[in-house]
Structure 1
Amino acid sequence: MMRRLVLLLLIPLMVMGVSIITRNGKTDIYINNKKVDLSKATVIETTPDYTVYQPIEDENTTIVINKGGGVMVYSNGSVQISNGSKMTPQQQQEFKRKMEEFEKKMICERQALQQRLSNLGQEINNRVHDSLSNVFNDRFLRNLF
C-alpha cells in the first residue's frame, strides 16, 4: 500500500519536463505536458538571428527560437535544443554556439539579479534592525537573545 502511494506521488515528478516536437514543418513546445502558446508569451529580446520568449505556462522557462527554425528551451537548469529541419549543418553549429553564449549570458544575469536581491534583503534587515533598536532604545538586541 505504501509503495503504491509513493509511486503515485513520484509519477507526476518523473513525467514533468520539456518536449520539442516537429511535425510537418511545425514545431510545438510542451512544458510539463502543457502546450506553449507563443502568441501569449512575453517577448524578452528580438535580434536579427533569434527571438527570446518567456511563456506564461512557466515563468522560469526561457525559449529561444532561431530565424532558421532552431529552438532552445532553458527550464529549471536544463537545456533542450532542437535544430529544426530547415537548417544546414553550418547553421546548426552556429545556432548551437549562439545558444551556448545566450545560456551563459542568462546565467550571469540571473546570478547578478540574485546578488542584488540578496543585498536588498540584507539592507532591509539592517534598516528594520536599526528602526527597532531606536524604538526600544537598544533594548531590542538584549531582549532578542
Structure 2
Amino acid sequence: MHDAGIPVTAQALAEAAGAAMFARDTASKGLGMELVEIRPGYARMTMQVRADMLNGHLSCHGGFIFALADSAFAFACNSHNVVTVGAGCTIDYLAPGRQDDMLTAEAVERALAGKTGIYDVNVTNQEGRLIATFRGKSHRIGGEVAPLQS
C-alpha cells in the first residue's frame, strides 16, 4: 500500500525496483547495458559489443556476456521489490558475439518459493541467434529495493 491506501500493483513494484537498482548500477551502465523491460519475475537488457570487449579471437569475451546475463538475472529476481542476491549460477556459451553485435539478455523466473528462486536467461544477438544460456539461483535477504511511501 502507499499514498491514500491505494494498493501498489506488482508491475509498479517491478518498475520502481528496476529504476532504483539501475540508478545505482554503475557496473551495468559502464558496460553500456540498458534495462529495456521489467515485469514481475522478468527482465530484458541489451548491450552492444564494443571493440574493448573483444578477446584474442576477436569475439566478445565471455566475461562480458556473463555480465549481461547476470545483470538481467539480478533485475528479474529483484523485480518483486525484495532485496535478492545471486546464490549460484551456470552459463553455457553456444556461439560467439562479434564486434557491434547488439546482445539481448532475457531473464525469466522459473520458480520462486520462500527465499529461493530459479531464473533462466537466454542471450541472443540482433539476428536472434542464441549466444549463451545462463541459469541463476537467487536468495532473498529481505528489505525493499525501492522503499515505498506508506
TM-score by length of 2: 0.28
- Structure with the higher strand share, 1 or 2: 2
Bigger relative contact order, structure 1 or 2, given CA contacts below 8 A and separation 6+? 2
- Structure with the higher helix share, 1 or 2: 1
Larger Rg: 1
